[in-house]
Chain A
C-alpha cells in the first residue's frame, strides 16, 4: 500500500508473543470493525498473527503477550525493550507468568518427563515469569484474556502519551452494580471476587459460579482475610492454595498466600463454619 503523504505520524506498534495461548492478541482481532478504525490511528509495524509485513524496530509501542519461559525468550524480551519507546504487557501470562507458571510450584524435571519422551530435547526454563521481572514495563493490562474495551483504551492512551483509564477496584464492585446476588452469601460458593481486579465485567457470579481470579489480584487485597473468612470454611488448606494457584500463580499476592496456606500444617480457620441455612 502507498503511504499517504503529509499526514501526521501514526505511532508504530509491535505486537509480540511469548509463551501464551494467543487469546490476548486475538482480542485485538476480535475488535472487528473497531480494529479497522484502530488501524487508521496506529501503524501495526510488526503483528505476526495478523500481517506478513513485518518491519524492524524501533517502535513507539510494544504490546507484549506471554510469559518468559525459555532461554531464547529472555534475550528476545531484552532486545524488544531496547527497540521500543513504551512497552506494555497484556494478559495474565505477561503480567503474572500465566497458568504455565504452575510449574514454578512443581518439580520441573518431572513435568518435562511427564509430557515428553525425550525431555533432554526441550529447551525451556524451570520457571515461567512475568515480563516485568526482566525489563521495565510501562503499563500492565490484566486479564485472562484481557477485556477488549480496556485493550483499545490502553492502546489509544499509550499511543497518544496519556495514562490509560482502567479500573483498579475489585470484582465485587462491578458485580454489585450488575445486580448479581452475591454467590458467597446466597449460595455459599467459594469466590475470589473480593481480591480480584475488576475488568471482566464480573461475569462468573452472573453465571452462578464463584470468581476464579482470571484478572489477577486487585490493587489492595487482604488475602489472609479472604482465605480464613471465605475459603477455609469450605475447603482444606491444600484446596484453598490450589484455588489461588490458577491463572496468576506467579503474582506476589496469590503466590504468597497459597504458599502460606500450603505450609500451614492444618486448617487455619478454627471457628465453627457459618450455618448453611
Chain B
C-alpha cells in the first residue's frame, strides 16, 4: 500500500456549487489536504458599492438560490439598524415565518436528495426514491410546503421579491396564512415520521473536537437574531464579531476561509450549522422537536458530523412547530391595518446583522452614505466559515482510512464533505477529489 499512487475523482457531487479536494499521501503521511474551491468568484461585495440600499436584498439573494432568505433578511436587518428602524412585532413574526420556510425547503432537500442517498448506497435522491418511494415522496411534499410558504410571503420560492427594508412590500392576507394551518399540522406529524426514519441509520463512528459557534437568542431557538455563542457559557455581541472571527485567503480557494481568534490570541477552526445550533440551544427547541431529539438520543456533544442529518431533521420539526405557532398567533387579525413597512429617511452609518442561515451563522456589515447608497459591504457566509473545519475533519478521517483503496478513500471523503451541506455557491464555491500518493 506504500506504492506511490495518484487518484482523481472528477467532481464532488450532491453539493451546491463546484470545487475539488486535493489529497497527497506519502505512505501513511498526509502531505496535503486542501478543499479547492474553484467556483468562479462573483465579487458581490464589490458590485454592491454605489447601489441604492433598496437593491441590497435583491442582489445578495443571488449569492445563493438555496438560501436567498438568509441573505435578504440579514441584509435588510443590518440596514435597518443604520436607519434606526424597529419592526412591529407581527411583521417580525412574518420574517421569522419566511425564514422557517427556508429552513424547511433547504434542510428537506439536503436530507432526502443530497445526504440520505449515502446511507443507502444510492447515487441520487431519484435512485433513493425507487427504493423508498413513500419516504422520498413524503420528503418532497414537506419541501413543497416550505416552498409554498415562501411563495405566499415572498412571491416565489427562489429569489423571493417581497422582503423590504422596514418590513415587506406587501403583507399577506390573514386568510392566506390561516389556510396553511391544516397543512402545517399534517406536515409537522410527517416531519416527525421522517426524522424517525433516519434515526436508525448506520452512522460511521467518527468524532472531531468541534468548536461550535451559533447564535443564542434569549429563550427562543435562534433564527433571525441573537448574540454569538463562542463557548459553553460565553456570548459576544456583533460589534466585536470581526475581532473574534477573521477571514483570510488561501491560494487553493476562491472562498475566503475564517478562523476563531480567542482572547488568548490562539486561532482555531470552528463549526457553524444545525449541529452547532443544537449544541447551544437544544433545550430551546419547540416541545415536539425537543421530545423527538430526546427520543432519537441526539446529542451534538458526540461531535459526529454524520449525525448532522438528524440535526437537520430535528430542526425541520422545530421549523414546522414554529411556523404553526406563528400562523396561529396571527389568526387574530393583528396584521390588518398594519403598514407593510416602516418608512425611513436615509442617513450615513454602519450596521451589521447576524442570523442563522440553514447552513449556519451568516454575518453582514454595511456602510452607507447620506443619500442611501452602499459604500462598503462585508458578507461572511456559513460555508466559508466551515471550510477550515472541513479540511481538519478530512485530515482526521484520512488518518483512519489511508490504507484503503483510492476509490474508497475518495468516496469516504466525499461523503464526509456532504455532511456539512456545503454551499459552494455561497462560499464562492466547490468539488473534485484529487488524491496523489508518493
| A121 within 8 Å of B (CB atoms) | yes
Give the total of B residues in contact with A, Cβ under 8 Å. 70
- Is the CB–CB distance between B13 and A54 below 8 Å? yes
Nearest residue in B to A34 (C-beta to C-beta)? B140
- Is the CB–CB distance between B58 and A246 below 8 Å? yes
- Is the CB–CB distance between B13 and A99 below 8 Å? no
| A219 within 8 Å of B (CB atoms) | no
Chain B neighbourhood of A47, CB < 8 A: 124
Interface residues of B in 285-320 (CB under 8 A from A): none
* Cross-interface CB contact of A52 among B46, B51, B161, B414, cutoff 8 Å: B414
Chain B neighbourhood of A201, CB < 8 A: 156
Q: How far is the CA of A124 from the CA of B158 in the complex (A)?
A: 27
* Closest-CB distance, A95 to chain B (whole angstroms): 15
| B49 within 8 Å of A (CB atoms) | yes
Assuming the A-B contacts A21-B425, A247-B62, are A111 and B43 also in contact, with contact meaning beta carbons closer than 8 angstroms in the complex?
yes
* Cross-interface CB contact of A54 among B11, B113, B114, B170, cutoff 8 Å: B11
Nearest residue in A to B55 (C-beta to C-beta)? A246
Query: Interface code A43-55, partner B: CB below 8 Å = 1, 0 otherwise?
Result: 0100111111110
| B40 within 8 Å of A (CB atoms) | yes
- Is the CB–CB distance between B47 and A52 below 8 Å? no
Assuming the A-B contacts A39-B126, A144-B159, are A111 and B46 also in contact, with contact meaning beta carbons closer than 8 angstroms in the complex?
yes
| A188 within 8 Å of B (CB atoms) | no
* Cross-interface CB contact of B248 among A18, A30, A117, cutoff 8 Å: A117
- Is the CB–CB distance between A49 and B51 below 8 Å? no
Chain B neighbourhood of A33, CB < 8 A: 137, 140-141
* Cross-interface CB contact of A115 among B13, B46, B170, B340, cutoff 8 Å: B46
A interface residue count range (under 10 / 10 to 19 / 20 to 34 / 35 or more): 35 or more
- Is the CB–CB distance between B40 and A73 below 8 Å? yes
Query: Interface code B111-133, partner A: CB below 8 Å = 1, 0 otherwise?
Result: 00110010000011111011000
- Is the CB–CB distance between B52 and A239 below 8 Å? yes
| B42 within 8 Å of A (CB atoms) | yes
| A11 within 8 Å of B (CB atoms) | no
| B41 within 8 Å of A (CB atoms) | yes
* Closest-CB distance, A136 to chain B (whole angstroms): 22
* Closest-CB distance, A233 to chain B (whole angstroms): 17
* Cross-interface CB contact of A51 among B13, B140, B144, B423, cutoff 8 Å: B13
Query: Interface code B63-93, partner A: CB below 8 Å = 1, 0 otherwise?
Result: 1111010000000000000000000000000
| A1 within 8 Å of B (CB atoms) | yes
* Cross-interface CB contact of B65 among A24, A112, A116, cutoff 8 Å: A24
- Is the CB–CB distance between B47 and A99 below 8 Å? yes
| B231 within 8 Å of A (CB atoms) | no
* Closest-CB distance, A103 to chain B (whole angstroms): 6
* Cross-interface CB contact of A22 among B51, B254, B425, cutoff 8 Å: B425
Interface residues of A in 80-103 (CB under 8 A from B): 98-100, 102-103
Chain B neighbourhood of A39, CB < 8 A: 126
| A132 within 8 Å of B (CB atoms) | no
Q: How far is the CA of A1 from the CA of B159 in the complex (A)?
A: 35
- Is the CB–CB distance between B170 and A207 below 8 Å? yes
Q: How far is the CA of A126 from the CA of B137 in the complex (A)?
A: 44
| B33 within 8 Å of A (CB atoms) | no
Chain B neighbourhood of A206, CB < 8 A: 155, 170
Sample 20 A-B pairs with CB under 8 A, ordered by A number. A18-B40, A19-B40, A19-B42, A21-B65, A22-B16, A24-B65, A26-B109, A30-B158, A32-B144, A48-B12, A49-B16, A50-B113, A50-B126, A51-B13, A52-B123, A69-B40, A69-B42, A100-B42, A128-B42, A145-B156
Beyond A35-B140, A51-B124, A115-B46, list 18 extra A-B contacts (CB 8 Å). Answer: A20-B65, A22-B16, A23-B62, A36-B137, A48-B18, A51-B123, A52-B123, A54-B13, A69-B41, A112-B41, A116-B41, A118-B249, A144-B159, A145-B156, A145-B158, A206-B155, A239-B52, A246-B55
A-B complex: 6 closest residue pairs judged by Cβ atoms: A23-B65, A51-B124, A53-B123, A19-B40, A100-B42, A52-B13
